[in-house]
Structure 1
Amino acid sequence: MAGNTGHPFETGLDKNRANFAALTPPSFLARAAVSFGASVAVIDDERRITYAELYDRCRRLASALARRGIGRLETVAILAPNIPEMIEAHFAVPMLGAVLNPLNTRLDAATLAFSLRHGEAKVLIVDRDFAPLVAQVLALLDEQPLLVEVPAPAAGPAILEAIGYEDLLHEGDPSYDWPGPDDEWQSLCLLYTSGTTGDPKGAVYSHRGAYLQALGNAVTFGVNRESVYLWTLPMFHCSGWSYPWAMVAAGGTQVCLRKVEPARIFRLIAEHGVTHLCGAPILLSMLVHAPAQDRVPFPQTVRCATGGAAPTSTILRAMESMGFSVTHLYGATETYGPGTASVAVDAWADLTEAERYERMARQGVSLTTVEELAVVDPSALAPIPQDGRTIGEIAMRGNTVMKGYLKNPDATARTLTGGWYLSGDLAVWHPDGAVEIKDRAKDIIISGGENISSLEVEEVLSRHPAVMLAAVVARPDVTWGETPCAFLELKPSGPGATEAEIVAFCREHLARFKVPRTIVFGPLPKTATGKIQKFVLREQAQAIEPAAKA
């Protein structure tokens, strides 16, 4: 500040290379290669990559891209499953000062083409498994990026006009003196949100934000040198919640996984002594409902972090019985993934099982590296009372909130306003500081003037022995305005259920006005990360003829 000019604490105490460095995630890898270079950093089937080898490969990739003309703030996209090359891209591209754009592997060609055009990708690294999809994408582009192909087991023909990934690495210098960012606020990653309407929005991360988010996750999730992390969360989702960087910061081991299959997950947990994994609630459901023949016993307790909808008490109980300790997280693409965690405290030891599960299902308190978490009145942006009853909107601010949306100042201004990131999630704020989501603003059902939380109804439905997944949205009603409409995916080998049985079960556990008036059975639509697509269900519910007057 100008008022400090000439002050002894500001004079002659300048920043220089000895006392200041821009925070950037590649520095984690540089340290790890020096400190424990012979340790295994990455496991991919029979392949083992040490920290020294990982650093060598990342420097080669950064050098090769630089020699091919890729420079500061130019975009390098990657379309690949959870393979070592995805981890390498998360270090090599930032080393160069370029911007990494991990692409959702489950999107259609038109959406991927939009992302590549909007982000102005100069390079597309692609796994050969996605060759047919990439051919469709390229046909929609006027300007073609440099194609780099990663071989895949049992994949089809090679991608035409693509350079092989390993051939590109051979062009690079393992001693490359990588420049990194000019400033830690420099853009590092471009992550597109899976918007429900219109084009996706590209959230932009900074080097500083990614560095701090990695450390915040490491502290919250308790990863260290002995930790073994299994990649059950897609790395394209919020850059894997920053765990490619967090695990390297801790010096642990990452186990790659091309496809999420319960049998393989159980086998890898037992084989490699996995200690940590992350995933959407659908992952927990898959593990809980895996056939007995797919399960492999393991002696260690595996810490499992999950985001999205709060785990139900049924899921939590089943996961604990199998040897998993579940932590519920909350966040968004705009907050580098997790911004809060339901952290257990000593007082929980005195709770009943039901009370403990209720606390575990809350969104919890902020990560160490989040500057401030609050639940605010969205009109005044003032914090609401911490009484566990008043409803407001979850807001956050700090270094781990995105810089904004690429080329979308209007959306940026709506989301980052009044000094807060506004989430759109409605919650209460408890006296102990924990936040608890009651619904998305658009998911609250208003029936006859009464607010109904879809999450509350879903929790009850999930307790029914036949229900595997439940989602509740509003359906038009000529009398009440809206009533709950429940979409249910039943367990494949469960007892089955009728609409009458489901309604009767709900009446035992809910106020009558909260009981769903419509039950729809069948598979639920899901995003690439396993989240239930409520916007699809809302459209389906809207298409149902309004219920007649009672």
Structure 2
Amino acid sequence: MQPTNPSSGNDAARNAYQWAVVDPDRVALIQHEEETTFGELIGRVNLISNHLRDLGLEAGDVVAGFMDNDPAYWAVSLAAQQVGLYYVPINSHLKADEAEYIVANSGAKVLVAGPAQAALLHAAGTATGAVHRYALAEAPPDWMPYAELGRGYPPAAPENRVAGAIMGYTSGTTGRPKGVKRQVGQESPEAATQRTLDMLGSFGLASSNGVHLVCSPLYHAAPAGFATGALHLGHTLVIHTKFDAAQVLADIERHSVTNSHMVPTHFHRLLSLPEEIRQATDTSSLEVVVHAGAPCPVSLKRRMLAWWGPIIWEYLGATEGIVAIASPSEWAAHPGTLGRPAAGAVQILDELGVEQPARTSGRIFFKSTMPFEYLGDAEKTEANRFGDLVTVGDLGLLDEEGYLFMQDRRNDLILSGGANVYPAEVEQALIDHPAVSDVGVIGVDDDEWGQVVVAVIQLNPGFSAGDDLRAELDGFARTALGSYKRPKRIEFLEEFPRTPSGKLLRRQLRDLYSSAAPRTATAPSPL
């Protein structure tokens, strides 16, 4: 049974819900050789939407997903977003207590978890705040199988459809994540998805015929947003669970992939493949590849452009919104730029809110795509505002022609392989080790990862620096941090560069440890 039409008439589809009506046999998803059509996907979406309403969820309530890349991501998120709910994607690599915090903080009433994630929560004995919990595979005690979500409910589109939203979590200087919350329940799903399609059009993506490769984690706002946008366009999504450079190339050729979202780490790994493999693979189907998530070295970008041609777009963005977009031609003419924002869309301000002249550094303020607040944090919400502009703390400048260049990442944020790592959180995990007197965590530039996490440690008396202690500290970090947050390097420092008020001077640590070789050092004077 096909779902009922979510809008009147059989006009050209403008989102995945409508593709299920006008072209139900069109392939929506491919993963592990298994295909899902739009009719099948939206039929499942409608079952879940109707079940969520029957569970008592109302517009503004929350559904959370804690899973690896899986077709269930779209079944659950699209279901939530057509009945006015927030969908909260949770990083699938988080520890149990980290995930538990997000579930509780968001107020999620329903949690859908992957096999490993459900087992992790069960083994840790965490009692998630979600009233209804579903596992994608064998369900632990007190959980329901995911197959039961929607079972027995009508596959017709729910009545009185209303748009919900993704509520991604992004951390602050304390390391505690905060939900980026936008208003819901005030427009139709068609109106909401049209904004997504308009955004894709800014990158030259407008055709309804295409194949999108998903090779980044869907718990990140950017790859999930671009993939879902491509789905709404009518594209087929080829879903990878993790990034494998050889498999990415093979699937680009095999499925005639036309577009994808990547990070510079992916470029590095693709270019590291043997030349004979790269040259033997046909990538001519590619039309648009979008990247962000970490600083991209100019030399790396030039090598990718030489290989794939002028199809690579770059942008600066955050969960809070897109700041600027650089087309391939703009980047070629202004290497390193993040694009030229529309007049008034971006301003460079100093700490007093004074707009800076061309080529003068300051904080990057921009007009957010939609109004938002940080869930439960009015102070943080207010702190990042200046009139109708917002900032996430990035430092940059505009040149005389209005092209944007970024100079430093937001505050002390580390971006490693496209993932956000907050130093305070890593420091808090390491400071509890008996050997650690003081600790500072920094990001150091790396060709493959963009940045790698480096922990600089001052030891307590009675402990000796060396590889044995490095191994012990690494093991200690494993008990408290997700894999992508753990330091790739551990360094030892005799005296820490702190101001008289106790503020850590991270820039001096970066200057000390910009090279790759581990060493024990003495910090320069902070004065």
> In 2 relative to 1, CA 54–490 (structure 1 residues): closer, same or farther, beyond 3 Å?
closer
Give the 5 Å matches for 1:34-113: 34-113=21-100
Label 1:242 to 1:528 Cα distance change in 2 as closer, same or farther (>3 A). Answer: farther
Q: Give 1:238 deviation, angstroms.
A: 1.5
Cα distance in 2 for residues equivalent to 1:59 and 1:491: 42
1:38 and 1:50 in contact (8 A); partners too: yes
Which one of 107, 120, 126 corresponds to residue 140 of structure 1?
126
Deviation readout 1:284-329 (Å, 9 max, x if unpaired): 2222223458656024153321113332232123323442632111
> Using the alignment, how far apart are the partners of 2:484 and 2:398 within structure 1?
27
1:32–1:427: structure 2 CA closer, same or farther, 3 Å change rule?
same
Change (3 A) 1:310 1:299: same
C-alpha displacement of 1:380: 4.9
Distance in 2 (CA, whole Å) between partners of 1:382 and 1:411 is 21
What are structure 2's unaligned runs of at least 5 residues? Answer: 1-6, 416-420, 424-441, 450-470, 492-505, 513-519
Q: Which residue matches 1:310?
A: 295
Cα distance, 1:375–1:291 mapped onto 2, change above 3 Å: same
Deviation string, structure 1 residues 498-524 (Cα, Å, up to 9, x no partner): xxxxxxxxxxxxxxxxxxxxxxxx9x9
SS at match of 1:112: helix
Backbone CA RMSD of aligned residues: 4.0
**Does the 8 Å CA contact 2:203/2:327 hold for their aligned counterparts?**
no
Q: Is the 8 A contact 1:62 1:178 kept in 2?
A: no
Tell me the distance in 1 between the aligned counterparts of 2:378 and 2:36.
42
> In the alignment, what sits opposite 2:499?
none
Which letter does structure 2 place at the counterpart of 1:396?
F
Q: CA deviation at 1:134?
A: 2.2
Tell me by how many angstroms 1:339 deviates: 3.1
Task: Encode CA deviations 1:340-374: one digit per residue, 9 max, x unaligned.
Answer: 211244xx6xxxxxxx557242111348xxx9522
Within 2, Cα distance between the matches of 1:145 and 1:83? 23
The answer to whether 1:262 aligns with 2:245 is yes
The one-letter code matched in structure 1 to 2:82 is M
The 1:428–1:319 alpha-carbon spacing in structure 2 relative to 1, beyond 3 Å, is same
Which 4+ residue blocks in structure 1 deviate beyond 6 angstroms?
527-537
Residue from 349, 373, 381 that aligns with 1:377: 349
Residue 181 of structure 2 corresponds to 204
AA in 2 matched with 1:46: E
Residue of structure 2 in register with 1:413 after alignment: 382
> Structure 1: any 5+ residue segments left out of the alignment?
1-19, 152-156, 349-355, 445-453, 456-470, 474-484, 493-521
1:329 aligned to which of 292, 315, 323: 315
SS in structure 1 of the partner of residue 57 of structure 2: coil
Decide whether the 8 Å contact of 1:313 with 1:358 is kept in 2.
no
- 1:390 is the counterpart of 2:360: yes
Instruction: Specify the code of the residue in structure 2 equivalent to 1:175.
Output: A
User: Does the 8 A contact of 1:426 with 1:440 survive in 2?
Assistant: yes
Separation in structure 2 between the aligned mates of residue 173 and residue 321 of structure 1, nearest angstrom: 52
Question: Quick one: which of 370, 377, 396 aligns to 1:427?
Answer: 396
CA shift, 1:126, in A, is 0.9
Tell me, yes or no, if structure 1 residue 271 matches structure 2 residue 254: yes
1:545 to 2:519 alignment? no
| SS of the residue 1:78 aligns to | strand
Counterpart CA distance in 2 for 1:534 and 1:407 is 33
- Counterparts of 1:331 and 1:127, CA distance in 2: 28
Whether the aligned pair in 2 keeps the contact of 1:74 and 1:99 (CA below 8 Å) is yes
- Quote the Cα distance in structure 2 between the aligned partners of 1:383 and 1:530: 37
Contact in 1 for aligned 2:268/2:447 (Cα 8 Å): no
Per the alignment, do residues 374 and 241 of structure 1 end up closer, same or farther by CA in structure 2, a change over 3 Å counting?
farther
1:300 lines up with 2:292 in the alignment: no
Match status 1:116 vs 2:115:
no
DSSP 3-state at the match of 1:229: strand
Instruction: Tell me whether 1:280 sits opposite 2:263 in the alignment.
Output: yes
Q: Trace 1:108-187 onto structure 2 (pairs within 5 A).
A: 108-136=95-123, 139-141=125-127, 143-151=129-137, 158-181=139-162
From 225, 240, 247, the counterpart of 2:230? 247
The structure-2 alpha-carbon separation of the partners of 1:529 and 1:94, relative to structure 1 and needing over 3 Å to count, comes to: farther
Q: 1:443 to 1:239 in 2, by over 3 A?
A: closer
Specify which of 237, 247, 270 is matched with residue 220 of structure 2. Answer: 237
Which is helix-richer, 1 or 2? 1
Q: CA shift at 1:410, angstroms?
A: 0.6
Distance 2:217 2:14 in 1: 23
Deviation track 1:439-469 (CA, whole Å, cap 9, x = no partner) reads: 236469xxxxxxxxx99xxxxxxxxxxxxxx
Whichever residue aligns with residue 364 of structure 1, its letter is G
Alpha-carbon shift at residue 86 of structure 1 (Å): 0.6
Q: Percent identity?
A: 22
- Return the TM-score normalized by structure 2: 0.72
CA contact (8 A) 1:391 1:428 kept: yes
Question: Is the CA contact (8 Å cut-off) linking 2:48 and 2:149 kept in structure 1?
Answer: yes
TM-fit CA distance, 1:136? 4.8
Deviation at residue 422 of structure 1 after TM alignment: 1.6
Does the CA contact (< 8 Å) of 1:117 and 1:141 recur in 2?
no
Q: Does the 8 Å contact 1:374/1:383 carry over to 2?
A: no
